[in-house]
C-alpha cells in the first residue's frame, strides 16, 4: 500500500482520485451518502493513509478535520472492554468470576423466575442474556416498559438506576447459551466502577485512555466547536439530526433514541456501551496497541483472548462467518462472509456512523469515523472502503514483488 498522508479536508469529489480508498470516499460524497468522514489506515504500526473529508457541520461550512471529535456510540465498547481486560491482567478480575461478587444488587432472573449467574466473560462477549431497548418491536417491549436507557438518550437516570431497571427484566436466555447484542457493556462499566472504587470516567482514564495518550476521549465534551454534527441518511441528502429523534437501525424495531446534546452534559450517566466521545486518532492508538499484542497495557495472552470467538458466540444472526470475542466481532470464515479480510479479523462499528477493523495477519488497522448514520456504520461505504483497502494492499504487494 502506498504511503499517502492527506492533510486537507475535501468537500467534493476529486476528478482524478489518488487511490482506491480516495475513490470510495469521493463516491460517497458525490452521491450524497456521507456528510463528513475521517479515515485512517495503519500497516505494521505505520500510518499509510489519513484523510479528513467533507463537513463536520454542513450548515455552517465547518470542514472536517483529522482531530474532529465524534459521538462514539458503540465504539465505546472496545474501550470499556479493554479497561475490563486491564483489570483481569492486574488480577483484580477473572473472566469467569460471577459478577454478583461486585454487583450483588444486579440479579436478573430467567423467564421462568429461576436465578442465573452472569460472568465477566459473558458480559464481554454479549452472551449474558441481556438485550437492548432499541431492538424491541414497539414501545410495549419489556425494556421500554421498564424505562431502560440504551445510553444515547438524555434520560436523567443514574447508572445505578438504569442497572436496577435492566435487572427487573427477565433474561432473554440462560447466560452462556446464546449470543445477543446488548447492554452488557453498560453493566461492565458499573462493574469496573465497583472494582476500582472510582466513577467510570476516572477508571477508564486510569486504565486505558491516559496510558495510551487518548486525551480526546471521554464521556462528555468541553470543546464543543470540535464535535461533529450528526446527520441522518435521507433523500436527496442526509438531514441534520434533531435534538430528540428516534431512528430505527433495523427493520421491525422501535429504533434508537438519540439526544445529541447528551455529549455536553457531564452529569449524564456514563454509558459504557454507547456514551463516549473521541477522535479517530485516539481510537487508532487503542487498535494499534491491541493489534501489536497489548504493549505495556495488556498481556499478549489477553489481547489474543479478546480476538478469540467465545462459547455461545460462534454464530451471529444474519452475519455468516462471524463470531464474537471479548469486545468486538471476530471473522472465522472469510468465504462465508464474502470478505477479503484474513481469518481472525476484528471489527465493529458505532450507530452515529462509524466502522473499524483490525487484520492482525496483514498488520492492518483501519478507522473510519463519519457523522452520517447509518451509512457510516452499515451502509455501502463500509464494505466499499474495506474492499478498497485490500485492493490497494494487493496492488502494493504486487508492485513490491515485481521490483
**Check whether domain 77-209 has CATH 2.40.400.10, yes or no:** no
The mean predicted confidence, pLDDT, of the chain is: 93
Instruction: Domain ranges for the chain, please list them.
Output: 4-74+218-233+277-402, 77-209
Spatial neighbors of 299 by CB under 8 A, at least 6 apart, are: 89
pLDDT > 70 in the chain, percent: 94
- Residue range 249-301, pLDDT digits in tens: 888 999 999 999 999 999 999 999 999 999 999 999 999 999 999 999 999 99
- Residue range 38-68, pLDDT digits in tens: 999 999 999 999 999 999 999 999 999 999 9
13 pLDDT more than 80: no
pLDDT > 90 in the chain, percent: 91
Spatial neighbors of 345 by CB under 8 A, at least 6 apart, are: 330, 331, 334, 339, 357, 358, 359, 360, 361
pLDDT at residue 163, rounded to an integer: 98
Q: Which residues pair with 37 in a beta bridge?
A: 53, 370
Residue 394 binned pLDDT confidence (cut-offs 50, 70, 90):
confident
Same fold, 4-74+218-233+277-402 and 77-209: yes
The mean pLDDT value for 164-191 works out to 98
Q: How buried is residue 249: exposed, middle or buried, by Cβ count under 10 Å (0-12/13-18/19+)?
A: middle
- Residue range 313-356, pLDDT digits in tens: 998 998 999 999 999 999 999 999 999 999 999 999 999 999 99
Q: Which grid coordinates are listed for 317?
A: 444472526
396 pLDDT more than 50: yes
Q: How buried is residue 225: exposed, middle or buried, by Cβ count under 10 Å (0-12/13-18/19+)?
A: exposed
Residue 395 binned pLDDT confidence (cut-offs 50, 70, 90):
confident
pLDDT at residue 10, rounded to an integer: 44
pLDDT at residue 149, rounded to an integer: 97
The pTM of this model reads 0.94
CB atoms within 10 A of CB 201: 18
Residue 1 binned pLDDT confidence (cut-offs 50, 70, 90):
very low
- Catalytic machinery residues: 74
234 pLDDT more than 70: yes
Query: Cis before residue 236, ω within 30 degrees of 0?
Result: yes
SS3 label, residue 280: helix
pLDDT at residue 18, rounded to an integer: 67
* The CATH number of the domain covering residues in 4-74+218-233+277-402: 3.40.710.10
Round to the nearest angstrom and report the end-to-end CA distance of the chain.
14
Decide: 64 and 7 in contact? Cβ < 8 Å. no
Triad 179, 204, 221: Cα angle to 5°: 105
Amino acid at each position: 500500500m502506498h504511503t499517502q498522508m492527506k492533510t486537507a479536508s475535501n468537500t467534493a469529489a476529486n476528478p482524478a482520485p489518488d487511490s482506491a480508498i480516495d475513490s470510495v470516499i469521493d463516491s460517497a460524497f458525490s452521491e450524497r451518502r456521507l456528510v463528513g468522514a475521517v479515515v485512517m489506515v495503519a500497516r505494521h504500526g505505520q500510518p499509510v493513509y489519513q484523510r479528513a473529508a467533507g463537513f463536520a457541520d454542513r450548515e455552517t461550512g465547518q470542514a472536517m478535520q483529522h482531530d474532529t471529535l465524534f459521538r462514539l456510540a458503540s465504539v465505546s465498547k472496545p474501550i470499556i472492554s479493554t479497561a475490563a481486560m486491564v483489570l483481569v491482567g492486574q488480577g483484580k478480575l477473572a473472566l469467569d468470576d460471577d459478577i454478583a461478587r461486585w454487583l450483588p444488587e444486579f440479579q436478573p432472573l430467567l423467564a421462568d423466575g429461576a436465578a442465573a449467574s452472569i460472568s465477566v466473560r459473558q458480559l464481554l462477549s454479549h452472551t449474558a442474556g441481556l438485550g437492548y431497548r432499541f431492538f424491541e418491536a414497539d414501545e410495549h417491549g419489556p425494556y421500554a416498559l421498564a424505562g431502560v436507557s440504551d445510553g444515547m438518550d438524555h434520560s436523567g437516570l443514574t447508572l445505578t438506576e438504569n442497572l436496577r431497571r435492566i435487572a427487573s427484566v427477565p433474561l432473554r436466555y440462560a447466560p452462556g447459551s446464546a449470543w445477543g447484542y446488548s447492554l452488557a457493556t453498560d453493566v461492565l462499566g458499573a462493574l469496573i466502577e465497583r472494582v476500582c472504587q472510582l466513577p467510570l470516567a476516572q477508571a477508564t482514564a486510569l486504565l486505558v485512555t491516559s496510558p495510551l495518550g487518548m486525551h480526546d476521549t471521554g464521556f462528555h465534551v468541553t470543546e464543543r466547536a470540535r464535535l461533529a454534527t450528526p446527520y441522518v441518511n435521507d433523500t436527496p441528502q442526509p438531514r441534520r439530526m434533531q435534538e430528540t429523534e428516534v431512528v430505527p437501525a433495523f427493520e421491525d424495531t422501535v429504533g434508537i433514541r438519540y439526544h445529541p446534546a447528551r455529549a455536553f452534559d457531564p452529569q449524564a450517566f456514563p454509558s459504557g456501551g454507547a456514551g463516549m466521545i473521541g477522535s479517530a486518532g485516539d481510537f487508532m492508538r487503542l487498535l494499534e496497541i491491541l493489534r501489536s499484542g497489548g504493549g505495556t497495557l495488556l498481556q499478549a495472552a489477553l489481547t489474543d483472548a479478546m480476538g478469540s470467538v467465545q462459547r455461545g458466540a460462534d454464530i451471529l444472526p444474519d452475519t455468516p462467518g462471524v463470531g464474537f470475542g471479548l469486545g468486538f466481532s471476530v471473522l472465522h470464515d472469510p468465504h462465508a462472509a464474502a470478505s477479503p479480510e484474513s481469518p481472525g479479523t476484528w471489527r465493529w462499528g458505532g450507530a452515529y456512523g462509524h466502522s473499524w477493523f483490525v487484520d492482525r495477519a496483514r498488520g492492518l488497522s483501519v478507522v473510519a469515523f463519519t457523522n452520517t448514520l447509518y451509512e457510516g456504520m452499515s451502509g455501502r461505504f463500509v464494505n466499499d472502503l474495506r474492499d478498497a483497502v485490500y485492493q490497494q494492499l494487493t496492488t502494493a504487494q504486487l508492485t513490491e514483488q515485481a521490483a
